[in-house]
Amino acid sequence: MTSTSPNGNGTRPAPAASPGRMPSALELLRRAEAGPPAPEVEQPTRPQLPQLPELPGPTAPATPGLFSADQTAALAAPLNRAHVQTRSQAGRILSYLEGWVAIQEANRIFGFDGWERETIELRCVSENRRPLGREQKPGWGVTYIARVRIRLGCHAMGAASLVREGSGAGHGMDGDLGLAHESALKEAETDAMKRALMTFGNSFGLALYDKQQRQVTGSLRQERGIQVLGTTGQAGQSQQLGQAAPTGPRVRALAPERSPKETAATALTPAEVQGVHAAISRLARPQVDALVTAFRQRFRLAEGASVAAAITQKQHHDWVEAFLVQVEGDGQRQE
């Protein structure tokens, strides 16, 4: 006789039913207490999302130009010869801009509050006694070097800014050591400032680095006998841009070039004014618009004032001439 051990709950498991035997009442009760087996529940599956193509990351918006259209036109305009000074050095004639002219042009083009100058280095590199003048009086010779930074735009407000730097040197000679230092350091700062501003274009002296000075009004183009504006032939017609004067009857040219201050305000004759107007009328419309914008900026015309009526002086003629030379050069490069 076999015996069964009780379960953990103190009951004895029902003996396994032999095949072909009906379950006993006790087995039926225990099955009822255990309950039916829990049905297997299918886990819901997550829907598969379609694969989307990878999108490019956000691109930074294009940064607008720092210069306005008027400023760009003023920077691209030729250098006014009335601003150019000359001096003799080591047997050569050098052309240059004075410091006050560079500051004046920066105020005109960028605005009084649109630029700033910072001297980032100023150092004395030489201080020696030396004789001065023909009488060989005892004195001092001092040399400074400087580096100046020009910044455009309001960087303090987080706006776009443009930075240029330039280096320069200054020399001072005087019987008083303090005055020699003062002269040298001022010259060094001014020289460095002009070299930094020069990188912005012709108005700050860049045109003077061209030996032919083709971007300077009243340039070597006229000195070579090329008639550009204000000349009339036998039929009274203006000569074409860049056309050499005919070898026949001599045409009347502009007044001979004198000192810049004497010729800048010289009045044009009616025929010369007509020649300027005729040359401008041959330009394409976009070029005329650019000329008008730059002319207003250069000569500070009042709003609504006529540019055609304002062309009355030699300086206006020279400026328009240089503009046309630039247009002619741009057309040749495109071809």
What strands, in cross-sheet order, belong to the sheet with 162-174? 115-132, 137-152, 162-174
Domains, the chain, with CATH or none = 69-209 (3.30.390.80), 220-334 (no CATH)
pLDDT digits (tens, 9 = 90+) for 237-248: 333 333 333 333
pTM to 2 decimals?
0.49
pLDDT, residue 151, reads: 94
Amino acid found at 250: R
Q: Are 146 and 119 in contact (CB under 8 A)?
A: yes
Residue 12 in this model has a pLDDT that exceeds 80 = no
Question: How far from chain centre, in Å, is Cα 84?
Answer: 24
**CA triple 296-302-304, angle to 5 deg:** 90
Distance CA 257, CA 22 (A): 137
Distances (CA, A) of 283 to 93, 218, 266: 36, 20, 26
CA pair distance 154, 173, nearest whole angstrom: 39
What confidence category does residue 32 fall into, taking pLDDT thresholds of 50, 70 and 90? low
Residue range 180-213, pLDDT digits in tens: 999 999 999 999 999 999 999 999 999 998 888 8
